[in-house]
Structure 1
Amino acid sequence: MGLAKTRRETCITLAHGSGGKAMADLVAEVFVHRFDNALLAPLNDQAVMDWAGGRLALTTDSYVVDPLFFPGSDIGALAVNGTVNDLAVGGATPLYLTCGFILEEGLPMDTLRRVVESMAQAAAAAGVQIVTGDTKVVPRGSADKLFINTAGVGRVPEGIAPSADRLRPGDVVLVNGFLGDHGAAITVARADLALESPIESDCQPLNGLVSEILKVCPQVRAMRDATRGGLATVMNEFALSSQVGIRLQENALPVRPAVQGLCELLGLDPLYLANEGKLVVVVPPDQAEAVLAAMCAHPAGTDSHIIGEVVADPVGFVLLKTAFGSDRILDRLVGDQLPRIC
C-alpha cells in the first residue's frame, strides 16, 4: 500500500526525513515509483554501474544538521565523511566529491570559512578531492543558516559486490565500535547539557577500515553506515531486503556508559540513535574472526564486536536477545527520536 493509504498524510513532516517507516513509505511511494530503474532498485546507499571497462559507484547526500558545530565535529566534516562512507560501504574506493551550498542571507562569513576549512581537512584525511560545486544564497528566513549537498564517485574493484539483499542464514554481524555517539552528542549540544563524561560525535571516514575488511574478506555480504535510525534501522533494512531474520545479542552491543545514561535520562534508545563513524558488516561465518581481527587492528575499528547472526526465521524481523534471555523485536520507528542529526 502507498503512503497516502497507510499514513493519510498530505504534507511532509519531520518524520519523513528520519530514516524510519515514514521515510521508507515516502521513498517507495513518491520517488522509487517514479524513478524506477535497475540501478535504483537495490536501494543501497550508492548506485554501482559499469563504466569505461570498470565499475563506478555514485552517491549523493544533503546535510542540514543543527547545530552547525557540535562536540567532536561540524557540518563540514560531516558532509565529507558521510559521502565518503556511503561510497565505501558499497565496496568503492572514494575518489572525487562535489559540494553545493545553500546559504542564508546574514550567515557570518567567518562561519562559512570555518565550515569550508573543516571540509578541506576532512577531504585530505579521507584521501579524496572536492572537484566542483555550486553556491546559492536565499533570503533571510528561507533557510536555517547553512545547508550542504555533496555527491561522490568511487571505483569498485572486480569481485566486490556488497548489497543489502545478499545475507544468508548463518552469516555473522559485526559493528566497528560504540553505538549512538553522534546522536547523543547532538542531543547534548542542543540542550546545552553539562555532563561529567563529555560525549563527542564519532564522525570519521571509514574507507580505510573498509579497505582492510575487503582485503581479508572480498566476499563480504553487506555493509552500511548506521546513520539516521541507527543500528536497529539498518538491521531491519537488511532483514527485509534479504528476506531473512537477524538475531542480535544485547550483551554484545557496545554502548558507552555516558550514552546509555543520557538515553535513560531522556527516554531514548541508543540502538536507534544516529552514528557517523560506525558501519555494520555482515560476512560468511567462516570469515568472521578474520574480519574482526582486521577491524580491531585499524584505528577506526579498535572497539569492534561481533553482535549477532543471520537466521532463517522469522523472515523480515530483527530480534534482540536480552540479558534476561527473552527476545525483543527491534522494529523500525515511524519517525526519528531526533530530527536533523545529519
Structure 2
Amino acid sequence: MSGTVSEYLSSGPTFAEGEVIDRIEAFRRRRPRLRDEIVTLAHGAGGKSSAALVDAVFVEAFRNPLLESLGDGAVVTLPSGERLAMSTDSFVVQPLRFPGGSIGHLAVHGTVNDLAMAGAVPSWVSAAFVLEEGFPIAELKEIVADMAAAAAAAGVQIITGDTKVVPKGAADGLFITTAGIGVVPAGRELSAAAVRPGDKVLLSGTMGDHGMAVMLARGDLAIEADIRSDTAAVSPLVEALMAAAPSTRWMRDPTRGGVGTVCNELAQASGLGVVLDEQRLPVRPVVNGACEMLGIDPLYVANEGKFLAVVAPDEAEAGLTALRSQPLGDGAAEIGTVVAEPEATVVLRTGFGGTRIVDMLVGDPLPRIC
C-alpha cells in the first residue's frame, strides 16, 4: 500500500474516520516547544524535551544547512569531490560496566554507528576524557582497553584525544566524548527527503536490549533477568544491506528514545506517515517481560547495536535476507510501511487490529543509559 493510513489499515477495525482526523490534527499541534527554565534529565532522553532544547538553543544559535538536517552526523563535500561524514557524541552511562559492555565499548560504537547511519565507512575517531579526582587508574586502563578492542573490531583508529581531571564530586567518575570521521562511498545518498510512500521500514534486530540491560545492572529494581546490551558496530550490517538494497533511502540507529522516537523523527523530516505493525516488532521475551514489570513501552527503550532502514519496496525482501545472513542481524524484521497520509505522524497497528498514534518519547524513564 502506498496511499493513506486508512487504506493501509482497512483490513482491520480502526477508529471512526472523523475520530482519526481529530486525533491526527490534535497530534500535529503538539510540536515540541521549549517551555522549561532549567535543564532537566528529560532534556537528555532523546525525546520531545531533547528535540525542543536542540531546536530552541543549539539550532537557533548555530543555524546552517548542514546542522538543520538534524542527522546523527553531517556529510560534507571536499574540494576534491570526496564526501566525508563527521559525528560526535558524549557518554555518561551509569554503571560504567554492564552485561554485554562498558562505557568504553559505547564510546566507540556510538560514534562509528552514527557515521554508518550517514552512509559512511568509519575510519578515524578522537576521544576526550573527563576524569574525577580519585578515579582508579586500574579501572581506567580496563575501559581504555575496551575502547581499543572495540575500535580494532570496527576497523577504526583512535588518532587524537584530550584528558581533563576535575575535583572529586565535580563528575561522576568518568565521562567520555568521541568524534569520528568516515568516507561516504561515491553515489551513496541517504536522506529523509528520498523516502517515498510505499517504502518499507526494516529493523536490524530486537528492540530495547541495551536500555534494559543498563537499568537492571544498577541493581535497585530487584529484578533479575538475563539481558545483555547489544552494543556493537553495525557497519558490516550496513554494507550488507547496501549491497542487497542499493536504493536504501534512509537509516538511523534507535539509541535514546528508541524505535518510536526515531520513527517520529523520520515522519517529521520526510513529511510522510509511518505505519508500524505491533505483531512484527521484534522484542526478546525477557526484555518484554522486564518492560512490562516496569511499565515501560519497548518502543522507547534504546539499542546500541541495531538500526532502522527505509528501503524501496522491491528491495525489501533482499535487504531483509541480507541482514539476517549476518550474526548481528539474525533478528531483523520488516516492521512497517511509509504512507502518504497522515503526514508527519506515526501510527501503530496493534495486535487486536486497532490503531494508536505513537508519539515521541516524553520524559526520561531510563536516565543515563549511554
Aligned length: 338
Partner AA of 2:108 in structure 1? V
Aligned residue number for residue 158 of structure 1: 186
Given candidates 237, 248, 272, the residue that maps to 1:244 is: 272
For 1:1-342, what aligned pairs fall within 5 Å after superposition?
A: 6-51=33-78, 52-191=80-219, 197-342=225-370
Structure 1 contact 179–275 (Cα < 8 Å) conserved: yes
Structure 1 contact 272–337 (Cα < 8 Å) conserved: no
Partner AA of 1:207 in structure 2? S
**How many angstroms does 1:9 deviate by?**
1.5
Could you say what secondary structure the match of 1:173 adopts? strand
Could you say what secondary structure the match of 1:188 adopts? helix
Partner AA of 1:22 in structure 2? S
Deviations along 1:53-89, one digit per CA (max 9) or x if unpaired, are 3000000000000110001100000000110100001
Deviations along 1:193-235, one digit per CA (max 9) or x if unpaired, are 6766400000000011101111122221110010000000000
What is the root-mean-square deviation in Å for CA atoms of aligned residues? 1.3
Where does the alignment leave 5 or more consecutive residues of structure 1 unmatched? none
Deviations along 1:116-154, one digit per CA (max 9) or x if unpaired, are 000000000000000000000000000000000000000
Q: Distance in 1 between matches of 2:225 and 2:130?
A: 35
Structure 1 contact 42–164 (Cα < 8 Å) conserved: no
Deviations along 1:220-275, one digit per CA (max 9) or x if unpaired, are 11100100000000000000000000001000001011111111111111110010
Could you say what secondary structure the match of 1:241 adopts? helix
Could you say what secondary structure the match of 1:24 adopts? helix
Q: TM-score, normalization: structure 1? A: 0.96
Aligned residue number for residue 19 of structure 2: none
Q: Distance in 2 between matches of 1:158 and 1:83?
A: 21
Structure 1 contact 48–57 (Cα < 8 Å) conserved: yes
Q: Distance in 2 between matches of 1:80 and 1:13?
A: 26
Q: Distance in 2 between matches of 1:176 and 1:333?
A: 21
- Cα gap change, 1:108 to 1:75, in 2 (>3 Å): same
Structure 1 contact 77–118 (Cα < 8 Å) conserved: yes
**How many angstroms does 1:334 deviate by?**
2.4
Structure 1 contact 23–335 (Cα < 8 Å) conserved: no
Structure 1 contact 165–238 (Cα < 8 Å) conserved: no
Partner AA of 2:51 in structure 1? A
Could you say what secondary structure the match of 2:94 adopts? coil
**How many angstroms does 1:338 deviate by?**
0.6
Q: Distance in 1 between matches of 2:210 and 2:352?
A: 28
Partner AA of 1:18 in structure 2? A
Q: TM-score, normalization: structure 2? A: 0.89
Q: Distance in 2 between matches of 1:33 and 1:165?
A: 22
Aligned residue number for residue 9 of structure 2: none
**How many angstroms does 1:166 deviate by?**
2.5
Structure 1 contact 252–307 (Cα < 8 Å) conserved: yes
Where does the alignment leave 5 or more consecutive residues of structure 2 unmatched? 1-31
**How many angstroms does 1:25 deviate by?**
0.6
Structure 2 contact 67–74 (Cα < 8 Å) conserved: yes
Q: Distance in 2 between matches of 1:211 and 1:282?
A: 15
Could you say what secondary structure the match of 1:39 adopts? helix
Could you say what secondary structure the match of 1:165 adopts? helix
